[in-house]
Amino acid sequence: MTRNIKLIALDMDGTLLNEKDEISPENRKAIKAAEEKGVSVVLSTGRSIATCKDHFQSLKLSSYLITVNGSEIWDSNGELVERNLVETELIQWMWDLSQEHKTKFWATSCGNVWNNEMPDDITAHDWLKFGFEIEEDEIRELILNQLRNSGKLEITNSSLTNIEANAIGINKAKGIQKVCNLLGISMEEVMACGDSLNDLAMIEQVGLGIAMGNAQPLVKEAADWVTGTNNESGVAQAIHKWVLNE
């Protein structure tokens, strides 16, 4: 049962954060206890730096921050370590698809998140991710197939009704591997917690993959262990069991 965990990687939405977008006191205490034991804690999120910075700073973490599904890696001082862009032509194509099928969308550029609107000149910006929010199963499946068939994008989701597209080969596992290299540890020494398809690669590739109780079925199947839900401080439960050995 004991694992030599040196790094904890935590997804945010549906994992670390409860349905009120809060980090529970239980999760905070468990993260602090892990850090006091010498274990690094990294947030690994689909969010941009601007939309996760407050939570990151509130935890006073001393390690790295993986944002936009691995598109960016930041150090604890807020300095950019690595950035992986999506080709502008692909962003234009996905935006055209959203217009054609009348879907809601969002797009993350370097420095901004665009919700259901885009800048006048898409080519004037550097892009990290494009996302579709689609309630209709048929349209979602249609767009999903087109994106997959392009062979140029990393396709995941952060809920059952959305699609997230990053640069090909870019995901949270790739980001964690980079952090491991920087820290001089192996992926086997990592515990990762998540709930959605954008967490699947890291849950499969680290030494100990933890699915939340509220995780999508595919994520639970891939995980080594299933913890409580995000509203039950499932992150704290996993840390107590596998890192603090309590």
Looking at the annotation, which residues are catalytic? Answer: 11
Largest CA distance in the chain: 55
First to last CA, the chain: 11
Q: What is the DSSP track for the chain?
A: ------EEEE-TBTTTB-TTS-B-HHHHHHHHHHHHTT-EEEEE-SS-HHHHHHHHHHTT--S-EEEGGGTEEE-TTS-EEEE-PBPHHHHHHHHHHHHHTT-EEEEEETTEEEES---S-GGGS-EEEEEEE---HHHHHHHHHHHHHHSSEEEE-SSTTEEEEEETT-SHHHHHHHHHHHHT--GGGEEEEE-SGGGHHHHHHSSEEEE-TT--HHHHHH-SEE---GGGTHHHHHHHHHTS--
Closest CA to 91 of 158, 169, 150: 150
Closest CA to 193 of 174, 208, 178, 177: 208
Q: Are 139 and 103 in contact (CB under 8 A)?
A: yes
